[in-house]
Structure 1
Amino acid sequence: MIKIYHNPRCGKSREGLAIVEESGLEFKVIKYLENRLSLAELTEIIELLGIEPIDLVRQNEPFWKENYKDKRISKAHIMKLMLSNPKLMERPIVVNRDKAVIGRPPENIKTIL
């Protein structure tokens, strides 16, 4: 089943959700701000995306810029920061079996549907 990690307040995330809905495929919406991810879930997402943890961070978020910009931070610490501050995660993220994409731009989602 397709999973979309979604923030309803984000326009890009809403656009991504519309693409998934239009696909006609079965999917599950995960509101990751309300239902925080576990370390195992975040690790799996990062592995499926084929990226480093820092690549999933919204580096223009004020919390990040004020506290971590231009600092060397371990991968483990970055992941802990995303788990405790899920607004730091890029969105939406769509997972379809063994593939995942960040929906920025939202059209990226079509590549795994």
Structure 2
Amino acid sequence: MTIALYHNPRCSKSRETLNLLTEKGIQPNIILYLDHSFSLAELQALFQKLALTSPREMMRKKDDLYRTLQLDNPELTNDDLFQAIMAHSALLERPIVVNGNKAKIGRPPESVLSIL
């Protein structure tokens, strides 16, 4: 079983999620998403695995960058939002754990246990 963790070591929730996985004996494939170049297909697959209704649910909506880019504009399409994440990976909510065809945002960290 390969588990992936979209991780930011500077984020306390991301570190807590990594510690939780490690305590469960899981050594995830760590993806430092701030250094990662996402493709549209990759973001669409992640969105599908998260089973969300809008890409905004996987974005850091309280982030200054989100407001600066006016991503709350209701006329933006899902592809517009994915393009914003591709251009600015810091917009992606963290941490995200992926297990096969399921994914979960680790807020709170314990929520990822439901897909293990």
Q: TM-score, normalization: structure 1?
A: 0.93
Q: Secondary structure at the match of 2:97?
A: strand
Q: Deviations over 1:55-94 (max 9, x none)?
A: 1111111011123154121110000001111111110000
Cα shift at 1:105 = 0.7
Q: 2:24 is matched with which residue?
A: 23
- Across the aligned residues of Structure 1 and Structure 2, the Cα RMSD in angstroms comes to 1.2
Amino acid at match of 1:68: Q
Q: Distance in 2 between matches of 1:93 and 1:74?
A: 22
Counterpart in 1 of 2:60?
58
Say if 2:66 and 2:72, in contact at 8 Å, map to a contact too: no
**Structure 1: tracts of 5 or more residues without a match:** none
Closer/same/farther in 2, CA of residues 36 and 69 from structure 1, 3 Å limit? closer
Flag as ranges the 4+ runs of structure 1 deviating above 6 A: none
* Separation of aligned partners in 2, 1:91 and 1:25: 18
Q: How many residues align?
A: 113
Q: Which runs of 5+ in 2 are unaligned?
A: none
SS at match of 2:34: coil
CA distance in 1, matches of 2:39, 2:11: 22
Q: What percentage of aligned pairs have identical amino acids?
A: 39
Q: Shift in Å at residue 39 of structure 1?
A: 1.5
**C-alpha spacing 1:69/1:80, structure 2 compared with 1 (3 Å):** closer
Aligned partner letter, 2:56: I
Separation (CA, whole Å) in 2 of partners of 1:66 and 1:80 = 15
Structure 2 equivalent of residue 95 of structure 1: 98
Give 1:19 shift. Answer: 1.1
